[in-house]
Chains A and B, each alone.
Chain A
Amino acid sequence: MNDHPLLRVNAVTKYYGSRVGCTDVSFNLWPGEVLAIVGESGSGKTTLLNAISTNLMPTSGTVEYRMRDGQFRDLYRMGEAERRFLMRTDWGFVHQNPADGLRMTVSAGANVGERLMAIGNRHYGNIRQEATQWLGRVEIDADRIDDQPRDFSGGMRQRLQIARNLVTGPRLVFMDEPTGGLDVSVQARLLDLVRGLVNDLGLSAIVVTHDLAVARLLSHRMMVMKEGRVIEHGLTDRVLDDPREPYTQLLVSSILQV
């Protein structure tokens, strides 16, 4: 890990009118680190994810990202063109529903190749070769390259979405319930794959999940949210093995009963 964080989140607060989405959340994310944000639905974890990933402007607070030149930039003071460029090159966003992150009516190869074309790659053969390689890395057979994701299973779609995001070598990936809606056996395979990729590529990631098993398997550190606030924050093993807050203890005990 580096001397400097990749992301600095400072006192991020989001209100919907008078209703609290999330309030006063601060943390640093370090290079190569995976942070899980856990909580029940309505806890504010998705609001927080959207506020950090520039999908939702916070009411107050700042989100700063360390660009490749080493300079920190306030994401909400960046021009839209630069921010969108950052999002499709240096960032990835894996949606819970693959249809939200894929183009369902273009081929798997074009789904993976789109980001390459967006940054100016104009060689069909190279794009296709790169797409083939990425399909392999997410365990999709090369002979499916011309098939559309609507012909894929749920697990394949999710793996394709991951490949589509990683093709530009991003440094930070956001994941919103990445295994939600998948069968348990499919979930386990996907989690193994994600964990392998994150390790191999040295990615930083922020994973939002209601599933403590996902947090356990993927993350180094976790934050527990309740009613818009972070109520517990620490190394994942510590939080799960020795939860300090009564609410966290309740969450942990309910998962252990299952």
Chain B
Amino acid sequence: MNKHSELAVYNFAYLDEQTKRMIRRAILKAIAIPGYQVPFASREMPMPYGWGTGGVQVTASILGPDDTLKVIDQGADDTTNAVSIRAFFQKVAHVAVTTKTAQATIIQTRHRIPEETLQDNQVLVYQVPIPEPLRFLEPRETETRKMHALEEYGLMHVKLYEDIARNGHIATTYAYPVKVEGRYVMDPSPTPKFDNPKMHRSQALQLFGAGREKRIYAIPPYTDVVSLDFEDHPFEVQQFEEPCALCAASGVYLDEVVLDDRGGRMFVCSDTDYCEKRRENGHRGHLNGETAGAAK
């Protein structure tokens, strides 16, 4: 079985032109109404839903032959999910791929927003599992649509209230709800709340695709994105106690890496490209050197 020849019979970027036009119309509508979830006729993709088929369809619809694609899962380019999606687009669109944030024109992500500030020639595509922020308390789709239409967002604060009542602080760390351009409340997918401030007035266009749920939404460049909170419990991002063990970066999102079975561990940048670039530029963390290889 030759996977390459099987896919070769498909159109550029796998989807047929009619489907791409349909998805582009949904994207344009999403850009016109920031934060609003636009329904679209999600297609079957040659990968399971959990693999980000919504993001893949969005990427396939905006991708041109001259684009350079980067795909990350968590912050890394080399995880199975990211490698598969990157390989898929290399096969079906023959586009250039990169792991370097600055060189990419389209970045598809599952969790993280790159640490390096995105520019106005870049598009960030998110793979979204559950697009509806109100769903956890209101399972009825007709009712959640009405709540969005009438701007009835009290329930979002009920969720945050419960968080504080139970934990003493807002313990939500992922998929932390935001209000877009003062109007629609949006779930920023499983992104850590650490990255929420990066969405605010970003120069890059941000597109969100949920395949199973058949929704596309968007944050156009330079759009206000405000994390919900209480006056006496203001929004805060996670703080890390120590800098990256490899590149000494601080103020970035760190992952814990287990070094051995004796409890040894270190904290390193989740954005692997960012970390590598810093090391190339001569930044050294306290564990860089002999243990750096073990971490990779």
User: Residues of A with Cβ closer than 8 Å to B?
Assistant: 80-81, 84, 103, 105-107, 109-110, 113-115, 117-119, 122-125, 127-128, 145-146
Given contacts A123-B232, A124-B230, A125-B232, contact A146 B158 (CB under 8 A): no
Given contacts A84-B150, A118-B152, contact A146 B166 (CB under 8 A): yes
Kindly list chain A residues whose C-beta atoms are within 8 Å of the C-beta of B137. Answer: 103, 105-106
| Pairwise interchain contact A122-B150, C-beta atoms closer than 8 A | no
Kindly list chain A residues whose C-beta atoms are within 8 Å of the C-beta of B87. Answer: none
Q: List 7 A-B contacts (CB under 8 A).
A: A80-B150, A106-B162, A110-B161, A114-B154, A117-B161, A123-B232, A124-B232
At the interface, yes or no: B21 with Cβ under 8 Å from chain A? Answer: no
A84, A110, A119, A122: which contacts B162 (Cβ < 8 A)?
A: A110
Kindly list chain A residues whose C-beta atoms are within 8 Å of the C-beta of B161. Answer: 109-110, 113, 117, 124, 127
Bound CA–CA A167/B135 (angstroms): 25
- Interchain nearest-CB distance for A248 vs B (Å): 40
| Pairwise interchain contact A117-B158, C-beta atoms closer than 8 A | yes
Kindly list chain B residues whose C-beta atoms are within 8 Å of the C-beta of A117. Answer: 154, 157-158, 161
| Pairwise interchain contact A107-B162, C-beta atoms closer than 8 A | yes
B152, B165, B231, B232: which contacts A110 (Cβ < 8 A)?
A: B165
Kindly list chain B residues whose C-beta atoms are within 8 Å of the C-beta of A107. Answer: 162, 165-166
At the interface, yes or no: B62 with Cβ under 8 Å from chain A? Answer: no
Name which residue of chain B comes closest to A148, CB basis: B162
Name which residue of chain A comes closest to B154, CB basis: A118
- Interchain nearest-CB distance for A185 vs B (Å): 32
B150, B158, B165, B233: which contacts A114 (Cβ < 8 A)?
A: B158
- Interchain nearest-CB distance for B210 vs A (Å): 24
Name which residue of chain A comes closest to B153, CB basis: A118
| Pairwise interchain contact B158-A103, C-beta atoms closer than 8 A | yes
Given contacts A114-B158, A118-B154, contact A123 B231 (CB under 8 A): yes
| Pairwise interchain contact A124-B154, C-beta atoms closer than 8 A | no
Name which residue of chain B comes closest to A108, CB basis: B165
Given A117-B158, A122-B230, 11 other A-B contacts at CB below 8 A?
Answer: A81-B150, A84-B152, A105-B137, A109-B165, A114-B155, A119-B154, A124-B161, A124-B231, A124-B232, A124-B233, A125-B232
